[in-house]
Structure 1
């Protein structure tokens, strides 16, 4: 039998008004009481009557999340971060994977609006902005993550320029002078990381060699990373180090090196980007530019919740700084000293 607000109040030994405050995330209530009520709600599998709330113009207590690819560890870890934050606030999350395709972004955006989600978080995908403009025009609280926009909307992103700069600088300080890079094509973040890569080369007095810059598809796989890496590693202009646009591409580079019987990091240094769970599991463990995926999820949820609550503020672009995490896939290259 479906549990009611009265069942929750009785079990938690609080008033129905207190349960209502927790459900609606409103009013003054101690964290201890809130946690107790949320625990009882979970134990009883209590579900607020969201359909009635929607008809009355109230909140549905749900967030829509559009991500390009759930199979990518970065996006799956980010989704988990959003889900954890939402759970603490009494919200559920509807997740849709768009495969970097404009048609799917539009389709799922429409679907989530029909579900009356209270807000939307949109992670980098296609560069089309038409459906985002529709959300803004419809006054749907919206936050976009890791993508650029010319519209008035909250943005949460990592500082990709700094990431590209710091990754390349690390390799240069190890003595590498011929550094290749494989970046995610068609995405603004890839362009920014290349810009940082070029800045570091310039500071060390090294001329940018376009032939050492290669691109993958936005939804790059380890196999694709391997194929691209083989292309550059069998060339006469073989680099001594490669900066990859994410950890997946970096693992592809490592596999390509193994196939060519090149030792990591003795013959080739490799650095990735993201610090997803797979980076520590690679052999050798991968040096990477670490993004705080949990912080990115928390900031994104805070921004969309502020808009849902009607907090008046200017739209923000929040850049989170990545940090170099040195493991075993990079090493000094003394021949260049």
Structure 2
């Protein structure tokens, strides 16, 4: 039999109104009574009807997170840290992975709106600006993470991708490399990293290699494919900057299949500093993103909009950090 709010009130020896106030964290309830009610809800496994609350105009304490690729360790780690912060703030998080497909973006936005989520967090890879504009016109709280929409007044938490690309490339140049390839997908964050890469080359009077091409996806297979093409060029690079750690692992695989030693004959720098960067062979030199901070900050911004109706739009830009390991070396 389904447990109701009446069962909770009867077992706890309090009124239904008191149970409601405890569940919704409203009213002046003593700590003793609050703890007693909460203990009973856990014992009886009572779960409030979120949809009913939404129909009454109340908050559902639920937020939708839309990410492009849950298989990418960066996004899975970001989702975990965002959900951890949501739990601390007594919110629920529904995570949807789009695989960079616009039709899935539409599907999940529609689904989450039906679920009456209190707001949306959109991660890097979300490219449909019209959908963002539509959400804002409906006065639905929107925040973005690991990217920015400078054309819209939205809360945003992102890394300085341009600086990260510049750091990675400058580091390789300072190791003596002059022929530096890049592996990237044509998405917003990567475009900024490419811009930093090009600027670093320009500042050191170096050219972008003529063999540059975009990866079709941001995974190991595509990283290996692009690296194979580069390494079999007439003028192969001595170093490659890959715009995420998965692409870098693909480049390591391509180097091994071509009998090229990393880092003795080919230096590699990745981006993200996910857990896998520490367990590759060799461990990756990479540009680190403070993924935990990004998850916490964007959730705090979202809850601020929902609970306190904060109208001021905040853009938090975090500074990337080069993490040096064993996939790079100096060149004579």
Scaled by the length of structure 2, the TM-score of the pair is 0.89
Give the C-alpha shift of residue 4 in structure 1: 5.8
Q: State the alpha-carbon separation in 1 of the partners of residues 169 and 32 from structure 2.
A: 47
Q: Counterpart of 1:301?
A: 299
- Distance across 1 between alignment mates of 2:251 and 2:11: 56
In structure 1, the residue corresponding to 2:96 is in which secondary structure?
strand
SS of corresponding position for 1:177: coil
Note the residue ranges of structure 1 that are not aligned, 5 or more in a row: none
- The verdict on how the C-alpha distance between 1:5 and 1:288 changes in structure 2, with shifts beyond 3 A counting, is farther
Q: Which stretch of structure 1 is more off in the superposition, 103-112 or 310-319?
A: 310-319
Q: Offset at 1:207?
A: 2.2
1:181–1:212 CA contact under 8 A, matched in 2 = no
8 Å Cα contact 1:242/1:270 also seen in 2: yes
* Counterpart in the other structure of 1:312: 310
The answer to whether the 8 A contact 2:125-2:188 is kept is no
Instruction: Give, in angstroms, the shift of residue 6 of structure 1.
Output: 8.1
Q: How many residues align?
A: 331
Match of 2:262 among 264, 280, 284: 264
Shift of residue 48 of structure 1?
A: 2.2
In structure 2, distance between residues paired with 1:24 and 1:159 = 38
Question: 5 Å matches for 1:115-264?
Answer: 115-149=115-149, 150-185=151-186, 187-203=187-203, 205-211=204-210, 213-217=212-216, 219-264=217-262
CA RMSD of aligned residues (A): 3.0
Whole-Å separation in 2 of the counterparts to 1:293 and 1:36: 37
Q: Which whole-Å CA distance do the structure 1 matches of 2:221 and 2:115 have between them?
A: 37
What secondary structure sits across from 1:225 in the alignment? helix
Partner-residue secondary structure (3-state), 1:63: strand
Query: How far 1:327 sits from its partner (Å)?
Result: 0.9
Task: Look up the SS of the partner of 1:300 in the other structure.
Answer: helix
Deviation of 1:3 after TM superposition, in Å, equals 5.1
Tell me the CA shift for residue 275 of structure 1: 1.0
Post-superposition Cα deviations, 1:149-188, rounded to whole Å, max 9, x if no partner, equal 2122112211101100111121122221211111121x12
Paired residue secondary structure (1:214): coil
Tell me how far 1:43 sits from its aligned partner.
6.5
The answer as to whether partners of 2:85 and 2:295 remain within 8 angstroms in 1 is yes
From 298, 318, 321, the equivalent of 2:319 is 321
Task: List runs of 5+ in structure 2 lacking aligned partners.
Answer: none
Whole-Å Cα distance in 2 between the matches of residues 70 and 38 of structure 1?
Answer: 34
Comparing 323-332 and 12-21, the one that deviates more: 12-21
Conservation of the 8 A alpha-carbon contact between 1:157 and 1:320: yes
Deviation at 1:206, TM superposition (A): 2.6
Shift of 1:199: 2.3
Deviation at 1:16, TM superposition (A): 8.3
TM-score in terms of structure 1 length: 0.88
